A and B are shown apart, each in its own frame.
Chain A
Amino acid sequence: MNVKGHKAQNQGWDDLKEIKAPVGIRVDCPYYLKYGSTCHFEGQDCTFCFCPFYPCMDPYTGGMMVKGRRSRKWRWSCKECRWVHEPEVVERILKEVREVEGGAKLTREELLKIRRKILGINFEGDNHARLLMVVGTSSNAGKSLLVAALCRIFSDAGFRVAPFKAQNMSLNSFVTREGAEIAWAQTLQAIAAKVEPQAEMNPILLKPKGDMMSQVIVLGKPYADMDGRSYYANFSTGKGFEVVKKALKKLKEEFDIIIIEGAGSPAEINIKDFDISNLRIAVEENFPAILVADIERGGVFAYLYGTLLLLSEAEKRIVKGAVINKFRGNPKNLDPGIVELKIRTRIPVLGIIPFLEDLQLPEEDSVGIKDKGTRGDASVVIGVIRLPRISNFTDFDALASHEDVYVKFIRSPRELEDVSLIIVPGTKNTVKDLLWLRDTDLASTIVKMAAEGVPVIGVCGGYQIIGKRIVDEKGLEGDVGATYEGLGLLDVVTVFDVYDKVTTQVKGEIVIDGGFLEKRRRISGYEIHMGVTERGKDVKAPFNIFKRGKDDVDCLEGALNKEMTVLGTYLHGVFDYPGLRKPLINYLKKKRGEKKVVEKFDERSVTRREVIEESLDRLTRVVTEKVRMTEIFRFLELPFVES
């Protein structure tokens, strides 16, 4: 299967319609009939050197899941299949392709339809994509990570995989290339699936704003602000569910396998009638689901059993198995419980995933906020203010990936003592969190420390907070229209005037040398904010932006004070790349008088993405090993051979 250097491999077929006639045998091909190559028999037709239907997921011509002996990874193998190289089949495919209307590129759905038509298979419902849902007995049970691991496993196996979560409540969001805002969890899963994140993967995103209000984001764009009750009564089961179904349908056309994440627990009987993010869609479209339970706090069998007891008959039927997560100790101890659960519910436990320490993956919601990094006497301590409505706190994970850097979340002035850099993070409500800073005396402590020369960085909402003034005459952020005094560390004024939101990816470079900045270093990130910030004469813009979304631009971003100790920027994820982060850490270490200088600057040095990749690999390996994947293949009706 794996032919190194074979030109045709994975090239894809964007131009099937342009192939006019079969090419016949290509005996000049260096791989023709070589031992171990993909070419299968003498007299074959080489037009489709690489099968355009791969992975077809149909067993009819001999394909199946096999586990690599050395790689220990599952993959879709076509070893027994000669079909696409039969001369008459090639002719037939070309004829059918020409008959399809529309552009040159065929969707997966159309391609697979052609295949079945030629084979004379009448596939029930003609549904190509296979769907699997992962629901949890509680939030934070590990659904997101299991979905990410499954995405990676199936992606490694050769499938086009997409993650999906109908409705996500989270303040950590990401902006896609198209400028749509989706939850970070789905972005991570898309990274795991090795596909570009897109709005359809998380059609509804709820961003809590405090006081039980949430901003509802539909297909990546702000839709309305609603409170819980009106969301359930007027939106979720009506328009919301329509949006969800449409988004899923679109994904089904493009992808082979879709791994769907539920939200919270599917057994919340108080809101079950309105719940659109769990088993409802699985029942409607009849695809299997697995149930994840977290054993960390005990009671795992009660939660599994209770959840199953509270499901309707139709829901129970599609739940095919359970996974126990975050287990420490000897899995043998669980056996009596697993047996009893199976006797009572007929549901098997497919695997026990051990507790994985130090996975460097972004957390989904603020329940998961934890101090990060290594804490030693020598370490640089970075204090991130734990605003009540903190958002995108995963921005700072990258900082903690450095040796001797400790990121801690600050709630009171006392905790700021040993901090060498203060970060005011993003917030869902700038005005309310500014008032909170004043109430807790953090505001005055930050101002005092900044005056003593401690560097301060404000990101997004934090940038607005450390500015001079926030003008909100229409009451878009606060309850009433007013103008608020900021912390005054930067000479900038932010105005909230229209209910409009910037969501875009940007690329640029640093244009100032000095302090913790190094000129000409590349930066990139994404903006998610309302309000417009104007620089006064006492600040300079540290960044020059040359790409916003898909457009080439030339504009300035952010603000830096004269002493070069206070920086404000709208860019999330700006620490993920080394351009700003490394000089900053070096600066902080030097300032602490560390002689053991310092990490050398290297543009190619580890980006946050690579750290994530490493953790994903580890997670995937563990899941492949500990969860009976063959059972999951069985639920998905994928043929396989046991190794």
Chain B
Amino acid sequence: MEKACSLMFQSTLTHSGKSLFTAAFCRIYSKMGYNVAPFKAQNLSLNSFVTANGREIAVAQAFQAMACNIEPAEMMNPILLKPKGGEKVQIILFGKPYQDMSFPDYRKYFAIKEGFPRIREALKDLLNRYDMVIIEGAGAPSEINLMKSDISNMRVAQIFDSPVLMIGDIDPGGVFAGLIGTLELLRYPEKKLIKGFIINKFRGDQKILEPGIKYLEKRTKKRVLGVVPYIEDLVLPAEDSITLNITRFNPQKRNTKKTNSNLDDVRKVWLQNLDKFCNIVGETIDFDYVDQLLGV
């Protein structure tokens, strides 16, 4: 099989901006005329979206598909996990409820044996139908206690050797420790796939950061593609219950019935906001290098 044109985003923490970067890259490359699709192997979220053919996927992937100007489809999020309280979780497979399981059982019996082949299948399907797939990881890839059953990060990248960009959220501090620690906890073939770092949510004087970036690049021999500033008041769909920004949409409100025109309106606001973010990303990220990674 010829080398797939794909790119993956992972992060050292959740809520570092993976979904947003995936959406932005989807938008940027689709505007350049490529046929782009988003992908996230497994999403843990209570906010779901129903596709045209009645399949349930995470809102984040639906939003990313809208950013690509394509219809959201179940292949973009083959596994959706909906926590049901306690340790129970509902597994939605290809947009259809499949089974309820406890988390330990899911990790033990389902993830590798049943889940991962479906993920591979879905990704392969997308790569056949689109020019380019932008993949989003889940959580942090460095959870050494769960690594054996992690099917949404490095395992996905390794299917078609997708280059990985690691996002570090600098807002809480310790970003260099987080990036280096994450890299060092990965196994060798995984480490090789990480092609660069992005520092997100930075406030203040970028000059102060420079010695740190130099050290990071020297130590890891990987590039820092850019430092993206903190942007307040981006109205985007909240992915799960730990919503950090007060001004985001209240998921409860969105789940209530809404007329179609209303929904369109919300989408418009999202996309406007996304375009704002795309402009900033375009200015701060080294896209020549990204093009090289994608081979376009």
A contact set with B: CB distance below 8 Å: 136-141, 212, 228-229, 232, 264-265, 267-271, 294, 296-307, 309-310, 330, 333-338, 340-341, 367, 371, 409, 411
Report which of A139, A309, A341, A411 forms a contact with B173, defined as CB distance below 8 A. Answer: A139
Chain B residues contacting A137 (CB-CB under 8 Å) are 174, 177-178
**Known interface pairs A299-B182, A337-B144; A228-B208 also in contact (CB < 8 Å):** yes
B204 contact from A228, A269, A338, A371, Cβ within 8 A:
A228
Residues on the A chain within 8 Å of B173, using CB = 138-139, 264-265, 268
Question: Is B142 close to A, CB under 8 A?
Answer: yes
**Contact across chains for B208 and A270 when beta carbons are under 8 A apart:** yes
Task: Find chain B residues with CB under 8 A from A264 CB.
Answer: 173-174
A309's contact among B13, B139, B180, B207, by CB below 8 Å, is which? B180
Asked whether B53 is an interface residue with its Cβ less than 8 Å from the other chain, the reply is: no
Asked if B246 and A411 make an inter-chain contact with CB atoms under 8 angstroms apart, the answer reads yes
Q: In the complex, which residues of chain B have a beta carbon less than 8 angstroms from the beta carbon of A371?
A: 246
A306–B184 contact, CB under 8 A? yes
Residue pair B213, A270 in contact (C-beta under 8 Å): yes
Q: Which residues of A contact B144 (CB under 8 A)?
A: 301, 336-337, 340-341
| Chain B residues proximal to chain A, CB less than 8 Å | 11-15, 87, 139-140, 142-146, 171-174, 176-182, 184-185, 204-205, 207-213, 215-216, 242, 246-247
B211: A residues at CB distance < 8 A: 269-270
Q: Which residue of A212, A228, A303 is within 8 Å of B177 (Cβ)?
A: A303
Decide: A307 and B177 in contact? CB cutoff 8 A.
yes
B247–A301 touching, CB < 8 Å: no
Complex Cα spacing A141 to B178, Å: 13
Q: Given A299-B12, A309-B184, do A271 and B174 touch, yes or no (CB 8 Å)? A: no
A302→B215 contact, CB < 8 A: no
Q: Which of A299, A338, A367, A411 is within 8 Å of B178, CB to CB?
A: A299
Q: Given contacts A229-B208, A271-B208, A299-B142, is CB(A265)–CB(B246) below 8 Å?
A: no
**A-side contacts of B204, CB under 8 Å:** 212, 228
A116 to B204, CA, bound (A): 52
Is B180's CB under 8 angstroms from A297's CB? no
The smallest beta-carbon distance between A472 and chain B, in angstroms, is 26
Starting from the known contacts A307-B174, A309-B180, 18 additional A-B residue pairs (CB-CB under 8 Å) come to A138-B173, A138-B174, A229-B207, A232-B208, A265-B173, A267-B176, A267-B177, A270-B176, A270-B211, A298-B140, A299-B11, A299-B178, A299-B181, A302-B185, A303-B12, A307-B177, A310-B177, A333-B146
* Alpha-carbon distance between A367 and B173 when the two chains are bound, in angstroms: 12
Q: Is the CB of A302 within 8 A of B212?
A: no
In contact, B246 and A409 (Cβ under 8 angstroms): yes
- Contact check, B142 vs A302: say whether CB atoms are below 8 A apart: yes
Residues of B within 8 A of A265 (CB): 173-174, 177
**Cβ-defined partner of A304 (8 Å) among B172, B181, B208:** B181
Across-interface contacts of A268 in B (CB, < 8 A): 173-174, 176, 212
How many angstroms from the CA of A232 to the CA of B184 in the assembled complex?
31
Q: Which residues from chain B contact A334 at a C-beta distance below 8 Å?
A: 145
Report 14 cross-chain contacts, Cβ distance below 8 Å, ordered by A residue: A212-B204, A229-B207, A264-B173, A269-B216, A271-B208, A298-B140, A301-B181, A302-B185, A304-B181, A306-B174, A307-B177, A307-B181, A309-B177, A335-B145
Could you tell me if A267 and B174 are in contact, using CB atoms closer than 8 angstroms? yes
User: Is there an interface contact between B179 and A306, defined as CB atoms closer than 8 Å?
Assistant: yes
Q: Is the CB of B182 within 8 A of A302?
A: yes
B210 to chain A: closest CB distance in Å?
Answer: 7
Contact A299:B209 (CB < 8 A) given known A138-B174, A306-B181: no
Most buried by A among B146, B173, B208, B209: B173
Residues of B near A309 (CB, < 8 A) are: 177, 180-181, 184
* Cβ contacts under 8 Å, B247 to chain A: 411
Name which residue of chain B comes closest to A307, CB basis: B177
Question: What is the minimal beta-carbon distance from B249 to any residue of chain A, in angstroms?
Answer: 14
- CB proximity of B229 to chain A, nearest CB, Å: 13
Residues of A within 8 A of B139 (CB): 298-299
Which residues of A have CB within 8 Å of B213? 270
Chain B residues whose C-beta falls within 8 Å of the C-beta of A304 in the assembled complex: 181
Q: 7 closest A-B pairs (Cβ-Cβ)?
A: A306-B181, A270-B212, A337-B145, A265-B174, A306-B177, A299-B140, A302-B181
Does B181 contact A303, Cβ atoms closer than 8 Å?
Answer: yes
Rounded to whole angstroms, the CA-CA distance of A302 and B181 in the bound complex is 4
Report the bound CA distance from A294 to B171 in whole Å.
14
With A228-B208, A270-B210, A411-B246: A301-B143 Cβ-Cβ less than 8 Å: yes
Whole-angstrom CA separation of A140 from B169 in the bound complex: 14
Nearest chain B residue, comparing its CB with the CB of A139: B173
Docked CA distance A170–B156 (Å):
42
B266 vs chain A, min Cβ distance (A): 16
Distance in angstroms from A209 CB to nearest chain B CB is 14
- Within 8 Å CB of B185, what residues of A? 301-302, 305
What's the Cα separation between A635 and B146 when bound, in Å?
31
Determine whether the beta carbon of A229 is less than 8 Å from that of B205. yes
How far, in whole Å, are A303 and B176 apart by their CA atoms in the complex?
A: 9
The answer for the CA separation of A276 and B37 in the assembled complex, in Å, is: 48
**Bound-complex Cα distance A301 to B176 (A):** 14
CA distance A228 to B13 in the complex (A): 27
Chain A residues with CB under 8 A of B87: 330
Q: Which residues of A contact B172 (CB under 8 A)?
A: 138-141, 294, 297, 367
When the two chains form their complex, are residues A297 and B15 in contact, meaning their CB atoms are under 8 A apart? yes
Instruction: Give CA–CA (A537, B251) in the complex, Å.
Output: 50
Q: Are B140 and A302 in contact (CB under 8 A)?
A: yes
Question: A409 to B247, alpha carbons, bound, how many Å?
Answer: 11
**Cβ-closest chain B residue relative to A297:** B13
By a CB distance below 8 angstroms, the chain B residues around A299 are 11-14, 139-140, 142-143, 178, 181-182
Give min CB distance, A413 to chain B, whole Å.
Answer: 13
Least distance between B283 CB and chain A CB atoms (Å): 21
Minimal Cβ-Cβ distance residue in B for A304: B181
Task: Name the distance in Å between A356's Cβ and chain B's nearest Cβ.
Answer: 16
Q: Do residues B205 and A306 form an inter-chain contact, with CB atoms below 8 A?
A: no
Give Cα A371 to B216, complex, Å.
Answer: 38
Residue of B nearest to A263 (CB): B173
> Closest Cβ of chain B: how far from A387's Cβ, in Å?
14
Complex: A268 Cα to B11 Cα, angstroms: 18
Closest approach, in angstroms, between the C-beta of B114 and any C-beta of chain A?
Answer: 21
Given the known A-B contacts A138-B174, A310-B176, are A298 and B208 also in contact in the complex, defined by CB atoms under 8 Å? Answer: no
Do A310 and B182 have beta carbons less than 8 Å apart?
no
What's the minimum C-beta distance from A408 to chain B, rounded to whole angstroms?
9
Q: Which residues of A contact B212 (CB under 8 A)?
A: 268-271
Complex: chain A residue closest to B186, CB-CB = A302
Chain B residue nearest to A388 in the complex (CB): B232
Cα A265 to Cα B204 in complex, Å, equals 17
Which of B12, B14, B174, B247 gathers the greatest number of chain A CB atoms within 10 Å? B174
Q: Which residues of B contact A139 (CB under 8 A)?
A: 172-174
Asked, given contacts A336-B144, A411-B246, whether A302 binds B178 with beta carbons under 8 Å apart, the answer is yes
Please tell me if the beta carbons of A303 and B145 are within 8 angstroms of each other in the complex.
no
A139 to B11, CA, bound (A): 18
Q: Which residues of B contact A338 (CB under 8 A)?
A: 145
